[in-house]
Amino acid sequence: MNYLLKCGLALVLFTGLAACSAQEEKPKTSAEDVRLTAEDQVYVGFVLDTLKDERWYKDKELFEEAAESKGAHVKTLAANGNDDVQLKQAELLIEEGVDVLVVVPHDAAFSAAIVDMAHKAGVKVISYDRLITNSEVDYYISFDNVKVGELQASEVVKQASNGNFAYIGGAESDNNAVLFRQGAMNVLKPLIDKGSVKLIHDQYTDGWDPITAEQNMKTALAKNGNNVDAVIAANDGTAGGVINSLSSVGLAGRIPVSGQDAELEGVRRVVKGTQTMTVYKPITLLAEQAADMAVKVGSGEDVAADQSVHNGKIDVPSLLLEPVAVTKENVRDTVIKDGYLTEKDVYQ
């Protein structure tokens, strides 16, 4: 669609939300450094579940920067956990004339409606970080989320190879949370089967809410007389809630607790010793790869994907990146070395 027409329609539909700006054509210096003209500039809609969490602000900024460096125009909208709002945002972006939608779904199954709606308008959809299930979504880019769960459980088991374990998961509506648990159980099940580990609590956390995770952990403690030897928490937010609960009974720092996302507070807890590990998923790489994919797809190019993930309906062409376990011993060699966090922030 003509970019100027897109801008005009965008101003009608999103007055005050964003302004479109045409970019001047730049010299084509090489085949790898081609900038699109305003006339055929790729228009990317980035639909986020939420901006309430620190992690997603980073994704937003990195993705926008990477896509715009390739000559694309990006509009980002966040639904803050509301499925109906996310669906409406996708609808409005499609009506504006986006060439491709990149979606971080709030609810993996509900978001299939976004894919159906986009395809009816001839717009392809990339599922970013979280897989949209039971749909014909065009591409999926994320990390190996089963491996994330395996890393979480493996690091915890290094600290406590037997005893009473609790699993505090993420939101069951998020397919990643299901995959994290699957990976953790790949490690724990052999130990459970031989009787060295007893899974005394196994619960997902609605909305990934740390307060809910704290209450879930209080339940686990109460029903087991505070006799808990290890906790696998699905991300740093839930880990924070778990650790608050453990603090109330004097167990914080005395038993291993996993996390994920390498959020600043999570990494600080790892350094302090109240959290055993977190999982670093280099989102700079994720955002850059996703931006490259979006620009190619929006330009009508096919994207080669050497992996696929079944989403309940089809095998989705996928690009899966490698996650990294972060412990007190390798903080400087991972998140700080990469510039993801600064030494000053972590060791303040």
Alpha helices in 121-263 (DSSP H): 145-159, 175-193, 210-223, 236-247
3-137+283-321: what fold?
Rossmann fold (3.40.50)
Q: Which one-letter amino acid corresponds to residue 127?
A: S
200-222, pLDDT tens digit by residue?
999 999 999 999 999 999 999 99
Per-residue burial over 224-237, b if 16 or more Cβ lie within 10 Å, else e, is eeeebbbbbbbbbb
Mention the CATH class of domain 145-281+325-346. alpha beta
pTM: 0.78
Alpha-carbon Rg for the chain, nearest whole angstrom, is: 21
CA distances, 98 to each of 19, 87, 152, 299, 332 (Å):
14, 15, 38, 11, 41
Confidence tier at 13 by pLDDT (50, 70, 90):
very low
Q: Are strands 315-321 and 139-143 parallel, antiparallel or unpaired?
A: parallel
DSSP-assigned letter for residue 281 = -
Mean pLDDT for the chain? Answer: 90
40-76, pLDDT tens digit by residue?
799 999 999 999 888 899 999 999 999 999 999 999 9
Confidence tier at 24 by pLDDT (50, 70, 90):
very low
145-182, pLDDT tens digit by residue?
999 999 999 999 999 999 999 999 999 999 999 999 99
Residue ranges, comma separated, of all CATH 3.40.50.2300 domains in the chain are 3-137+283-321, 145-281+325-346
DSSP-assigned letter for residue 207 = G
Contacts of 163 (CB under 8 A, 6+ apart): 197, 198, 229, 230
Output the pLDDT for position 38: 56
